[in-house]
């Protein structure tokens, strides 16, 4: 499984270098407090169903197979990966285990969001 994941990542990254120009719209895409799940269609069974239901933030999904430049830009090495952005800057990252499953739950991420909001005061 690890070899397969590395192969897919290498293949996608190689495609970026050859055919996909890197576009940096991070400021527009991740402004404010935003939680982004990076995943791929081949792993959609391990996608988190609660990303859009988090409170006091925007929830987004990025398919690295259709947007490989985002995989390179954010150094995604395993899917799914969840990144919390605050004003376009990464403040927290959660990565899947070797079985390509996240071990974090919505309550933990919501707690992190609440702490980020409180730290701004």
Tens of pLDDT along 25-58? 444 567 899 999 999 999 999 999 999 999 999 9
The pTM (predicted TM-score) of the whole model is: 0.76
* Distance, CA of 94 to CA of 105 (rounded, Å): 10
Tens of pLDDT along 4-25? 444 444 344 443 332 233 334 4
- CATH number of the domain to which 54 belongs: 3.40.30.10
* Distance, CA of 74 to CA of 67 (rounded, Å): 12
Q: In the chain, how many H helices and how many E strands?
A: 4, 4
Tell me which residue range forms the domain holding 21: 2-119
Name the domain count of the chain.
Answer: 1
- Average pLDDT over the chain reads 82
């Amino acid at each position: 499984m690890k070899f397969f994941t590395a192969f897919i990542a290498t293949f996608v990254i190689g495609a970026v270098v050859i055919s996909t120009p890197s576009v940096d719209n991070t400021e527009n895409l991740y402004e404010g407090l935003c939680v982004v799940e990076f995943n791929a269609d081949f792993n959609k069974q391990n996608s988190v169903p609660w990303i859009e239901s988090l409170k006091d933030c925007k929830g987004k999904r990025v398919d690295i197979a259709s947007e490989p430049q985002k995989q390179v830009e954010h150094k995604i090495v395993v899917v799914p990966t969840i990144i919390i952005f605050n004003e376009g800057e990464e403040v927290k990252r959660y990565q899947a285990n070797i079985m390509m499953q996240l071990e974090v739950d919505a309550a933990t991420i919501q707690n992190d969001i609440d702490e980020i909001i409180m730290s701004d005061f």
